[in-house]
Structure 1
Amino acid sequence: MMKFIRLATVAALSTTIFAGGVQAFAEEIESQEVRQATTDGQITFTPGNDDTVVDPGDDGEDVTIPPITGPDGENKGPLTIATVPTMNFGTQIISTTDEHYNMVAERQQKTGTSGEENKVPYVSLAQVQDTRGTNEGWALRVSLTEFQAPTNTLNNVLKGAKITLFDPTLRYSIDNNEQAPTIHASGLELIPNSDAVPIMTAANNKGAGTSTAVWGDHDAIAKQVADGAAVVENEAIQLFVPGSTAKDAVTYTSTLTWELGQTPDNEL
């Protein structure tokens, strides 16, 4: 019992002495000048060189979209077109009245799968990636040739045909809407053999990062799939063909040329 008391007393006494020592040490620090030192943190960015198509953040299927290739097989660089639509308007019955044909929805590979059976109908995208780091601006434009058939057919030009783009949605990767590019208005017409028309335009100090024009509605496409549609259509892209145009029972094809240039003079 006495041994326990002694240990308790010593402990209490030691605490009292320590507390007094802390107080004296604090008073000594307060009486001294505070000293500071600074160091630097640093990171340097260089222009990018990627060609991966960035998911625009929609609510559709999780898909992996392959990057498009240029005429020389390469499409990498700090300012590049990552992807643009391929437009197929299906097989149609020859008509003598004006017709508007919806585009057949493009099919994309479900992420983590392979094979045509795992491709799903998807919206159409035109995507520009600007990782130059110079904030110089850019413009994406597109032009269209005539829809032509093989030369051995009588009516080898689909006269008066034109493509119209409806209800585009802009997806921008940078968290600053003031830097977002401008997208075309609904009802943009692509007239064969006419000047290229702007799809997206970024003035100086705009458009850095990934900018995506989206045509089509995921829910509308998914409903067609659920309803068992034989052909799933994208109503946001249409081909108009006059009834007065003579048509042969062949396939007519056209070429869309997408041009990405730097520093436009004017916005859309």
Structure 2
Amino acid sequence: MKKVTFLTITALLTLGVATPAMAATPKNSDADITLIEDDHPDGPLRISKVTDITFGIDSISGSDKSYYAHYLENDKNADNKYRANYMQVVDNRGTNQGWSLQVQNDAFKGKNDKGEDVTLANAELVMTSTHAQKNSVDKDTQAILPNAEVPVEATGWIFQSEVKVNGSAATIATAKKDNGMGVNNVYFGQASDVPSDNKKLETKNRSIELRIPGISTKSKTKYTSTLTWTLTDDPA
């Protein structure tokens, strides 16, 4: 005889007033970071990039003449304009105390067609710093401090006009206290829509000038001078 078993399931639902949850006792957790000094071999305050200056190829003159720098041939900014010469300064000290940028140069020297050493006597290099710019590949986040056709003293920054660069160190730009932190480019001139052309004066950068007196003896040769750039941690 087949036995059939029935299983009865009773489902219960009790409704009532909900008991409020009790607040848990708060506990604390920690978050920490240990900061150490920037371990770059050149130190936390440093010049990370220097651009060479070229005045191109130009004719000898028996009169006083000014020659102007070319814009950087293969270096464009985020707006696709040719950059003027610049220095890239890194300040990772974390002290926010500011800095000063100084420059000096030796004489312009070359060799004549006889292989003899020659010097471009009394030549005068004159430079004007115009603005600083926070370095960024995204132009929307580039802070320009300030970007003016005429060099100015802005709050926190000093840009020097027509500095005569010779054998003695001369201050050419200063980031005062609470300025100049991180990566900044210090520019000498505004960007240009067109590249420089040896034969077109209007395409040159007038913020960097080489003045050569007419009385100076000149040879048909390439003259070169070495510029020495120095950062000091004193913005005074």
TM-score after normalising by structure 2: 0.69
Q: Contact conserved, 2:99 with 2:231, CA < 8 A, in 1?
A: yes
Shift of the 93–215 alpha-carbon distance from structure 1 to 2, 3 Å rule, reads same
Within 1, Cα distance between the matches of 2:51 and 2:156? 19
Note the alpha carbon deviations across 1:49-86, whole angstroms, 9 max, x for none.
Answer: 45xxxxxxxxxxxxxxxxxxxxxxxx643221111221
Note the alpha carbon deviations across 1:88-136, whole angstroms, 9 max, x for none.
Answer: 111111112221111122233679xxxxxxxx95322111101133445
Q: Contact conserved, 2:129 with 2:172, CA < 8 A, in 1?
A: no
| 1:128-167 correspondence runs (5 A) | 128-150=89-111, 156-166=118-128
Q: Number of residue pairs matched?
A: 203
Match of 2:172 in 1: 199
| Residue aligned with 1:257, SS | strand
Structure with greater helix share of residues:
1
Match of 1:7 in 2: none
Q: Which amino acid aligns with 2:84?
A: V
Note the alpha carbon deviations across 1:126-164, whole angstroms, 9 max, x for none.
Answer: 111011334454332110111122376789222221122
Q: Contact conserved, 2:128 with 2:159, CA < 8 A, in 1?
A: no
1:36 to 16, 26, 40: 26
Q: Which amino acid aligns with 1:48?
A: D
Match of 1:124 in 2: 85
Q: Which amino acid aligns with 1:91?
A: I
Q: Contact conserved, 1:181 with 1:211, CA < 8 A, in 2?
A: no
Say whether residues 1:186 and 2:161 are aligned partners.
yes
Q: Which amino acid aligns with 1:25?
A: T
Within 1, Cα distance between the matches of 2:198 and 2:59? 18
Q: Contact conserved, 2:159 with 2:172, CA < 8 A, in 1?
A: yes
Match of 2:46 in 1: 80
Give the superposed CA RMSD.
Answer: 3.6
Say whether residues 1:222 and 2:222 are aligned partners.
no
Shift of the 204–229 alpha-carbon distance from structure 1 to 2, 3 Å rule, reads closer
The list of structure 1 runs, each at least 4 consecutive aligned residues, that deviate by more than 6 angstroms after superposition, is 228-231
Q: Which runs of 5+ in 1 are unaligned?
A: 1-13, 51-74, 112-119
Shift of the 240–229 alpha-carbon distance from structure 1 to 2, 3 Å rule, reads closer
Match of 1:210 in 2: 183
Note the alpha carbon deviations across 1:219-247, whole angstroms, 9 max, x for none.
Answer: xx22347xx88776333212111122221
Shift of the 47–181 alpha-carbon distance from structure 1 to 2, 3 Å rule, reads farther
Q: Which runs of 5+ in 2 are unaligned?
A: 1-12, 136-141, 146-154
TM-score after normalising by structure 1: 0.62
Q: Contact conserved, 2:57 with 2:198, CA < 8 A, in 1?
A: no
Match of 2:131 in 1: 169
Q: Which protein has greater RCO, CA pairs closer than 8 Å, 6+ apart?
A: 2
Shift of the 132–81 alpha-carbon distance from structure 1 to 2, 3 Å rule, reads same
